[in-house]
């Protein structure tokens, strides 16, 4: 009889400890938890060739604090962001700097969540080829001699090959 009581007491203590540990873990998760910003619909798509000063856009989910959206292109901060609220997401548009000519530029995006702290920050981006610096004739002959690859869209969650 005493042995059964000991086993029962040990079982109750182990069960209580497990439930207490999972409850504390859940509270810590809720204290830090947030809905992170997400970026998608990059336009023009990854590795596209664009002219200097072209208009570029992307979409940010509505969990994004729109006043915290920052964009840099090859280390140059883009200050004139046009953010349009579309009820369930934001459309962010801007123009590439005119100083970027004949180079590749990675567009870096970062933003904080509406709710949460700096922990709730997301960063993303994509690469564009900015035309210029060559004459039109040499540029045309270069594109004719090389195979054109189909664009691949990269996002933080998925990779899509466009056919």
Segment 70-114, tens digit of pLDDT: 999 999 999 999 999 999 999 999 999 999 999 999 999 999 998
Hey, what CATH class is 39-161 in? mainly beta
- Specify the range with the lowest mean pLDDT, choosing from 20-29, 37-46, 67-76, 148-157: 20-29
- Alpha-carbon distance of 125 to 104, in angstroms, equals 13
- Specify the range with the lowest mean pLDDT, choosing from 20-29, 33-42, 47-56, 100-109: 20-29
Residue 67, token pair as written in the block: 């006043």
Q: Is 145 exposed, middle or buried (0-12, 13-18, 19+ CB in 10 A)?
A: exposed
Res. 56: pLDDT tops 70: yes
Kindly report the pTM of this predicted structure: 0.61
The residue among 152 and 101 whose pLDDT is bigger is: 101
- Alpha-carbon distance of 92 to 109, in angstroms, equals 11
Give the 3-state secondary structure percentages of the chain, helix then strand then coil, rounded to 5: 30, 35, 35
pLDDT at 140: 47
Res. 23: pLDDT tops 60: no
Ramachandran bin of 158, using left for φ above 0, alpha for ψ from -120 to 50, beta for the remaining angles: beta
Ramachandran bin of 17, using left for φ above 0, alpha for ψ from -120 to 50, beta for the remaining angles: alpha
The residue among 150 and 65 whose pLDDT is bigger is: 65
């Amino acid at each position: 009889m005493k042995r059964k009581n000991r086993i029962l007491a040990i079982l109750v203590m182990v069960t209580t400890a497990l439930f207490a540990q999972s409850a504390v873990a859940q509270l810590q998760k809720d204290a830090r938890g947030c809905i992170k910003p997400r970026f998608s619909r990059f336009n023009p798509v990854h590795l596209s060739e664009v002219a200097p000063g072209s208009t570029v856009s992307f979409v940010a989910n509505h969990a994004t604090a729109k006043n915290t959206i920052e964009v840099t292109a090859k280390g140059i901060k883009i200050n004139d962001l046009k953010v349009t609220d579309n009820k369930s997401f934001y459309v962010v548009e801007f123009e590439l700097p005119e100083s970027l000519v004949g180079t590749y530029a990675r567009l870096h995006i970062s933003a904080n969540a509406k709710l949460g702290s700096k922990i709730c920050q997301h960063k993303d981006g994509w690469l564009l080829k900015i035309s210029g610096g060559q004459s039109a004739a040499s540029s045309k002959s270069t594109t004719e001699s090389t195979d054109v690859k189909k664009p691949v869209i990269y996002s933080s969650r998925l990779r899509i090959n466009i056919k």
